[in-house]
Amino acid sequence: MNREIRAAQIRVIDDEGKMLGVMTVPEALRIAEEKGLDLLEIAPTATPPTCKIMDFGKWKYENKKKQHAAKKKQVVVQVKEIQLRPRTDQHDFDTKMRHARRFILDGDKVKVNMRFMGREMAHQELGLKLMNDVITTLQDVAMTEAPPKMEGKNAFLIIAPDPIKVKEYLKLHPKPQSAPDDEEMEEEDLDSEEDSE
């Protein structure tokens, strides 16, 4: 920036985006100072390097705003894991499916792991049937990203939220409103006391 630019000659673009041509750094600096702006090297690897006349503070601020906006739009998807066994009984299965449904409605993927031990290896079809039950149970809000697959003594399955199905599900089953904070409760109490006076 400004006097830190070391190149003998630079290609200069003015603050309105017009090409001013190739000139020396002192010439470009003089033009920038006349406008009360900075000279910023934007393409140091070009031949000759390209510099732009601009307000560095404003550029830095706008860049920071863009990065912040991009970060806000970024959706972080986590993969939650649920462990099952081939002999998981119905009650435990239902409980684990409620957890999986909650994870999916929160926008997370769910990886269902199943471990076969000892003689269970001889009855892999029971485990895979249970995995298919998981898919059937959650098909109203999720889609299968990776179908049930065996790897050694383990089987796994990955299900992800289906945005359209989740939206429809939430229309039919709205999430309950969270209880008001203690501060809000205190404010309401104070308001009601003032009204009674």
Confidence of residue 81 (pLDDT cuts 50, 70, 90): confident
pTM for this prediction: 0.49
Residue 52's pLDDT is what? 83
More confident residue, 157 or 174: 157
Query: Domains in the chain, ordered, with CATH?
Result: 2-56 (3.10.20.80), 79-172 (3.30.110.10)
Per-residue pLDDT of 173-183, as tens digits, reads: 776 654 444 44
Residues 103-106: contacts with CB under 8 Å, at least 24 apart? 104/138, 104/141, 104/142, 104/159, 104/160, 104/161, 104/166, 105/141, 105/161, 105/166, 105/169, 105/170, 105/175
pLDDT tens digits along 107-135: 888 888 888 888 777 777 877 888 888 88
Which amino acid is it at 59?
A: W
pLDDT value, residue 23: 81
pLDDT band at 188 (very low <50, low <70, confident <90, very high): very low
Whether residue 79 has pLDDT greater than 50: yes
pLDDT attached to residue 183: 47
pLDDT in tens, 17-45: 778 778 887 787 887 787 778 777 877 77
The residue whose two tokens read 């898919």 is: 135
In angstroms, the CA 197 to CA 192 distance is 9
> Mapped to the 3 state alphabet, what secondary structure does 58-114 carry?
HHHHHHHHHHHHHHHHCCCCCEEEEEECCCCCHHHHHHHHHHHHHHHHCCCEEEEEE
pLDDT tens string 133-147: 888 888 888 888 888
